[in-house]
Amino acid sequence: MRVYVPATWPMLRTLVKNGSVDPIGGTAFALTPKLRESYTSGEEEELEYAALTEAARASLRLLSVEFGLGEDSTPARRVVIAADLENVTLRPDLDDGAVRIAGGVPFESIAAVHVDTDEAEYAVRQGAGAVDSADMGDLDAEFLVGEAEDHELAWYDPSEVAFLVELG
């Protein structure tokens, strides 16, 4: 199953260094039956993009924690790791596309990595600081999150990840 793992820049560094990455709480996103039901129409690729978008929002939540801890050297970029895994279970207690992964994500299973460009950093930093308030219904905060989400994530082949981390 193709899963989308919300991640951060330090998690990318770990992936390059150790050859695997552990999703926070084993949580990832995928095109689940519940996510498919929440859309009245859409091609497979469009629905996969919805799962990727949920993972990108979760990455923003992870960044809010990192910035809150003073990780100033961490680039303000959302990261989503797309991987093909078998040990995946549904998480109906969370978002429509949420799944649980058993164990880490080995580098060999990664299909692509999606990362914000440096042009998105200001909006992502603002969105990360506002995501919790947005989740609670604050319209100004939702605007800031929307500004971050307006930036498309860039696609990277797994062979480019080490170079990407080195440049970052």
Q: Domain locations in the chain?
A: 2-118
Cα separation, 167 vs 75, whole angstroms? 11
Segment 48-62 mean pLDDT: 92
Rounded to whole angstroms, the Cα distance separating 144 from 149 reads 9
Burial group, residue 104, by CB count within 10 angstroms (0-12, 13-18, 19+): middle
The DSSP bridge partners found for residue 88 are 101
Inform me whether the pLDDT recorded for 158 exceeds 50. yes
SS3 state at 30: strand
What is this structure's pTM? 0.91
> Residue 69 pLDDT > 50, yes or no?
no
With a pLDDT cut of 70, the percent of the chain lying above it is 93
Q: Quick one: average pLDDT of 128-145?
A: 93
111-126 per-position pLDDT tens digit: 999 999 999 999 999 9
Which tens digits make up the pLDDT trace of 71-91? 556 788 999 999 999 889 888
